[in-house]
Structure 1
């Protein structure tokens, strides 16, 4: 997907108007879509789609993720920035950095991924829990 589809409707959190995703039409129903452009619900009524996005919110941005790269072991990363594509064709991007485990003196590497991000997935239980591998 190179541009945000024109029929996706931005959904902003009521408390601070922060963009938390979109709601897109599917037949007579609506589907909640994350900032990564991934469906977070199946077809629902409008209010239920809004509730699905509100429930997910932005909390997933604070979680560790795994970046899968060509022929390399997955790397534990943190999301630094999500800039979705725009309806006018401006490409989006997702920036991640290697996990630093909260240390200020640990070197890290950043990766800029296209939006929606390829190779980025939630961390699985027990995966990447140690800073040493």
Structure 2
């Protein structure tokens, strides 16, 4: 999917909000005779499904993933442990994980939306921030 500014979100994408507090969960977009659930990161969560299944996919995904640790693979190699700071159809901002400390310097990265594949959920073997590398 190509990067697009918020003002250029397709007119046929329908915002889906959580029923209880109206928090945005993503979008549902048409695809042939079906519907595709799209996360706030701009990534497809389903292939073409019926409307109800698309809603369920967004609600099942929830928003918990936004608080998770992520990995940002650097173009020049290496990976960073990061947290999501801002996710909008205009941009995605992540920063190196500060582990909850207020005095730790962080590095911020502004990424295009939809989020590129180099931003991904943390996997086993990714940097965990507790291992010191020998120099």
Residue 129 of structure 1 aligns with which residue? 128
Deviating beyond 6 angstroms after TM superposition, the runs of 4 or more aligned structure 1 residues are none
Does the CA-based 8 Å contact 1:101-1:131 persist in structure 2?
Answer: no
Looking at structure 2, the residues matched to 82 and 13 of structure 1 have their Cα atoms a distance apart, in angstroms, of 17
Structure 1: runs of 5+ lacking an equivalent: 85-91
Deviations 1:63-102 (A, max 9, x none): 1111112213111100001111xxxxxxx01111101112
Residue 114 of structure 1 aligns with which residue? 112
Q: Against the structure 1 CA distance between its residues 100 and 111, is the aligned structure 2 distance closer, same or farther, given a 3 Å change threshold? A: same
Residue 10 of structure 2 aligns with which residue? 5
Aligned pairs for 1:86-125 within 5 A = 92-118=90-116, 119-125=118-124
Structure 2: runs of 5+ lacking an equivalent: none
How many residue pairs were aligned? 126
The secondary structure found in structure 2 opposite 1:22 is: strand
TM-score normalized with structure 1 length: 0.88
The secondary structure found in structure 2 opposite 1:53 is: helix
TM-score normalized with structure 2 length: 0.86
Does the CA-based 8 Å contact 2:38-2:46 persist in structure 1?
Answer: yes
How much has 1:116 moved relative to structure 2?
A: 1.2
How much has 1:53 moved relative to structure 2?
A: 0.3
